[in-house]
A = this chain, B = another copy of it.
């Protein structure tokens, strides 16, 4: 059975399609009796406007694409939630795309085969350089998330990873820790995110007057608890003896917690530990994990604001914004006593 069209409603109510459209959109100047007649026809026929016809005629889809590497990573799942929520609040819906952390899919995300699907794209790349980002284009406004450098032409919202990492080091230093290790940078080539966090780590050490010792940087296990556990385990077994651990993310921190525990090292007494992202589990494991938390709702809000400005026609240079972060102090690296 065909579905009910606007023209069916018009015929049923004995008016033109324009009038039905006026009623559907709550246009003011419709004679009350006409309006009522149309509304009854809509109800009787069970008419539901077709989004495609509307979109074709208006040029707007009221859909946004969100592309993140992998929803199984709790940080991205929570990000998707925040963005979906903010989008709904603005009358938009979300098309989900997982780029699965491969350059090919990231390129595909950007240069979409089909047009007309969405009005804009929110995209967190992990592979594409700003050059490639600038090149491929799906012909809709884009706002970039995350730490990869963005082309001048695109908007970009992120947290200040350098400042946050330095902040974490200072927190650990205030706890009396002096041999602060870094866990989770990808090897051999660290991601842009890890690079920034390493820079902040170094900056923090220097600000605290602590030596920078490459031996304290344990690579491997980004966003992967099992690998982080193995990497840290191997380093500990080889003689590494940190009194604090700045983990690249909470998943790595979870793995670290395990590696330390298996070796009888207590957290935070023997080794203080921090994570990054503030995923659910960080609050609930024992000890709970002190971690860097980006303000996800704010991030989502800014990203959408910028995107909508472009959808509305702004076509200037890319805006590059930082949004705030905070350190969620928990058991694994408590506040300094005094």
Given contacts A63-B95, A71-B80, A258-B284, 14 further A-B contacts (CB under 8 A): A3-B115, A52-B55, A53-B56, A71-B71, A80-B96, A84-B98, A93-B96, A226-B284, A254-B284, A255-B284, A258-B286, A261-B286, A262-B286, A281-B281
Contact residues in B for A90 (Cβ distance below 8 Å): none
Contact residues in B for A61 (Cβ distance below 8 Å): 52
| Residue positions of A touching B, CB distance < 8 A | 3, 48-56, 61, 63, 66, 70-72, 74, 77-78, 80-81, 84-85, 93-98, 112-117, 139, 225-226, 229, 251, 254-255, 257-258, 261-262, 280-281, 283-286
Show 13 residue pairs from A and B whose CB-CB distance is below 8 angstroms, ordered by the A residue.
Answer: A49-B114, A50-B114, A50-B116, A71-B71, A71-B84, A74-B74, A84-B96, A96-B96, A225-B280, A225-B283, A257-B286, A258-B284, A281-B285
In the complex formed, the residue of B with least CB distance to A117 is B51
Contact B139 A3 (CB under 8 A): yes
CA distance A97 to B84 in the complex (A): 8
Distance in Å from the Cβ of A290 to the closest Cβ of chain B? Answer: 16
Distance in Å from the Cβ of A61 to the closest Cβ of chain B? Answer: 7
Q: Assuming A72-B78, A81-B70, A97-B93, is B229 touching A284 (CB within 8 A)?
A: yes
